Structure 1
């Protein structure tokens, strides 16, 4: 069809890369399987910088279902590149072995993410807490005993939010499981950037399209 750009979201990891070898136009990865979601990471980084004024030196906790999260992977790679310290937090069954090894991403300066299985221990030093949706539709096995147990150990509720430093912010890529990984009082609090993330996503994706379609190599 001669498209100048194709935005692709696909259940198979690597599909956008494959498509890019078949077409002459630009290919934008809008999420491929459990692999990557690059524009989400860009808008998350922009939101952090807008709220906190910097990225270098920030301590960012990415919490929850990291195993199935393309958002977590893209954020871990991008934030490490930009100088932030990333800690992955969740039950051992939901931290993938390749990220658990804390190996740097190919071509990325710095080190890979740290790993913790104790959310309460991480919160007092976190500048940013990014909660991830529990992706039940991707789970073919029992990764944790029950939703109630998961919320008790890894859900961000009011008391846990108050353990954060005064300047810290709470993020979520959406959609949310309210009452499971994040409590309504946290999602709707002044610390929450969730609405900003949605708005910033429009601007960031417009910028990506502009850069790819602006006529310059």
Structure 2
């Protein structure tokens, strides 16, 4: 049985409590994997990984599966809608069932907060957080940092504006915790109804004009369905006040990069032509997710 300390070191539950050195080692290992020309390096061909998605996902799930298969792992894909969870089985029992069958690691995505931490304290396999509630999305933040580091060389001193639904964004939280460790300056921009007051002590809220004065402009998906009684009641109104329109993008510094964790609501938080612009790093971000997740999976399963 793996010791609790060793298990914790191999799991990736979040970035808030992960050291800068550990984050840097993952980024460096991702650079190694990106540099490899072979599509498949079967170093994990005797390891079984279960992708346990209790919440819908496209990019994250396929990115993890691609990373796992490039490392030669045996992959089991689990979707809640096609499982016994749909019959009433608990998340805990489902994970314990897969552990009992002999998986070596689990990639897990959950809607509720707090469940992942409980699971990690109970099971005896490393777990990788693929997004849990409004808490964290560590591999998304790692690929964001990796993208920024490739562009600017260093994260120290970078001005990063994160714009949108901060209240419900696990991406904003993971990016905040990680970027602060590297000396980046993080600012938030959001309507009052989409702010997270508990984060104000770590990053100030600024106006849209101030947010545009940054090295990195990170737009978030707007979850308008959660704000029916908020100040902004339509996608069109949000775009006018907080969207990265063509007009706003035209005023950005030529060295500013535009990012988005996706999926993108085109012509809501970001205009269609801006998504496809030369300053947009949205699709390179997705590409960078594969080597990042290879590094994280290797970390979980290495001897």
Higher deviation after alignment, 3-12 or 58-67: 3-12
Contact 1:89-1:119 at 8 Å conserved across structures: yes
- Identify unmatched segments of 5+ residues in structure 1: 103-111
Higher deviation after alignment, 142-151 or 66-75: 142-151
Tell me the distance in 1 between the aligned counterparts of 2:180 and 2:157: 10
TM-score normalised per structure 1? 0.90
Higher deviation after alignment, 2-11 or 64-73: 2-11
In the other structure, the counterpart of 1:105 is none
Tell me the distance in 2 between the aligned counterparts of 1:39 and 1:16: 15
Tell me the distance in 1 between the aligned counterparts of 2:219 and 2:115: 26
In the other structure, the counterpart of 2:126 is 26
TM-score normalised per structure 2? 0.65
Contact 1:129-1:169 at 8 Å conserved across structures: yes
**Structure 1's 68 and 143: CA in aligned 2 closer, same or farther, altered over 3 A?**
farther
Identify which of structures 1 and 2 has the higher relative contact order when contacts are C-alpha pairs closer than 8 Å and 6+ apart. 2
Figure out how many residues of one structure are paired with residues of the other and give that number: 203
Contact 2:258-2:280 at 8 Å conserved across structures: yes
**C-alpha RMSD over aligned residues:** 1.3
In the other structure, the counterpart of 1:176 is 264
Is the aligned partner of 1:113 residue 2:198? no
Tell me the distance in 1 between the aligned counterparts of 2:297 and 2:229: 39
Is the aligned partner of 1:98 residue 2:187? no
Tell me the distance in 2 between the aligned counterparts of 1:56 and 1:194: 22
Tell me the distance in 1 between the aligned counterparts of 2:249 and 2:281: 14
Q: In terms of Rg, which structure is larger?
A: 2
- Helix, strand or coil at the partner of 1:87: strand
Of the three residues 150, 153, 165, the one matched with 1:50 is 150
Once the 2 structures are TM-superposed, how far is the Cα of residue 92 of structure 1 from its aligned partner?
Answer: 1.4
- Identify unmatched segments of 5+ residues in structure 2: 1-99
- Helix, strand or coil at the partner of 2:205: strand
